Amino acid sequence: MSRFVQLHILTSYPPSNLNRDDTGRPKTAVIGDCTRLRISSQSLKRAWRTSDIFESVLKGHIGTRTKEKGVSVYQSLIKQGVSEKNAREWAKLIAGRFGKLKSDKKTENNEDLHVEQLVHFSPEEEKAIDDLVTRLVETATEPTEDDLKLLRKQHTAADIAMFGRMLASSPAFNTEAAIQVAHAITVHKAAVEDDYFIAVDDLNSGEEDKGAAHIGELGFGAGVFYLYICIDRELLQKNLGDDAELTQKALTAFMQAVAKVSPTGKQNSFASRAYAGFVLAEKGDQQPRSLAQAFLKPVKPNPEKGEDTMTRAIKELTKRRDNFNAVYGDCADTAVYFNVETGEGSLSDIAKFIAE
């Protein structure tokens, strides 16, 4: 099995605000001395992990990321007749195994049952917690030290195996991410623009007052984005307990999501859903490398040659790949691609390529 799979993806987004900064405007980055629009890797991974594709293909192999597992344990105990005092104390003992409790004083909104950091629970850990809750209800006794051994190093959570997990209080149960995701950036100069909008009150029919009931501004941008992804297939299979079948299923779901699923930011305002227009997949044991250098110089299409931004970006990407191969030798053993502009290749071919 070739160890590394590298994905180079070009996607054209219409006006959108998929991933906002602290001011509510699209995120940006300065690259090649000009501003580009940016979509963070965190935003992309969240969209893929919570997609319908993952849910349907990897059902039963998806984790849950939360600070509030202690709250759900407490509520379950209460519903099954455990006293408030015992339910709270036992829930704290269980939640505390996964992270430092946020507070031991504030019971309002059950804040004392929250852990300080988000914890990604595997299905195996969730089942162990559920089994323990059932046992506590039946025995009406405080959980023992052995009962509280709930963390699992080995699991079948595909999203944890892909994107990793860090437990500050229990580093022995960390999972190293098998998939590295870059921030997506536009291949050309891009500006954040402002959409000035108003809302009218439907019940305001008076001639004397026809003004807007609401006025606002919303930042947006548009462009062709380059995204680089590196998959360590050996590590992914190791993270999944050397289950080759589950590994292939996870890679298939991942490829489908990457090509089809966009972050959900302001989708109702822009309907900016987009499929990838070009995907190049490479496979081999060679040291991985991004092709982002292809876009240090902002892409400028040549309309006189019938060239648009996507077409020019594909040319620059493949040219950079060929130049790397010429200088360093082949940077991958095999490669496949699809190109929506020319109708070449298919998503199913690439999904099969990375999974085999």
| pLDDT one-digit tens code per residue, 297-311 | 999 988 888 889 999
Q: What is the number of other CB atoms lying within 10 angstroms of the CB of residue 209? A: 9
The per-residue pLDDT for 302 is: 84
Tokens linked to 276: 């990838």
The per-residue pLDDT for 108 is: 78
Q: What is the pLDDT of residues 92-126, one digit of tens each?
A: 999 999 999 987 667 778 889 999 999 999 999 99
The per-residue pLDDT for 209 is: 66
**Burial of 231 from C-beta contacts in 10 A (0-12 / 13-18 / 19+):** buried
Least confident of 174-188, 292-306, 340-354: 292-306
Q: Between 3 and 209, whose confidence is greater?
A: 3
Q: What is the pLDDT of residues 4-62, one digit of tens each?
A: 999 999 999 999 999 999 989 999 999 999 999 999 999 999 999 999 999 999 999 99
Average pLDDT over residues 262-267: 91
The per-residue pLDDT for 139 is: 93
Q: What is the pLDDT of residues 203-260, one digit of tens each?
A: 776 666 667 788 888 899 999 999 999 999 999 999 999 999 999 999 999 999 999 9
Q: Which residues contact 67 (CB under 8 A, 6 or more apart)?
A: 99, 102, 114, 115, 116, 117, 118, 119
Q: Which residues contact 241 (CB under 8 A, 6 or more apart)?
A: 154, 155, 156
Give, in degrees to the nearest 5, the angle at Cα 151 between 145 and 152.
Answer: 130
Predicted TM-score (pTM) of this structure: 0.93
End-to-end Cα separation, the chain, in angstroms? 8
CA distances from 8 to 11, 280, 333 (A): 10, 5, 16
The per-residue pLDDT for 234 is: 97
Length of the chain in terms of residues written: 356
Express as a percent the part of the chain with pLDDT over 70. 97
Cα 299 from chain centroid (whole Å): 27
pLDDT band at 133 (very low <50, low <70, confident <90, very high): very high
The per-residue pLDDT for 74 is: 96
CA distances from 35 to 31, 231, 289, 301 (A): 6, 28, 23, 18
Average pLDDT over residues 283-299: 97
Least confident of 64-73, 104-113, 146-155, 185-194: 104-113
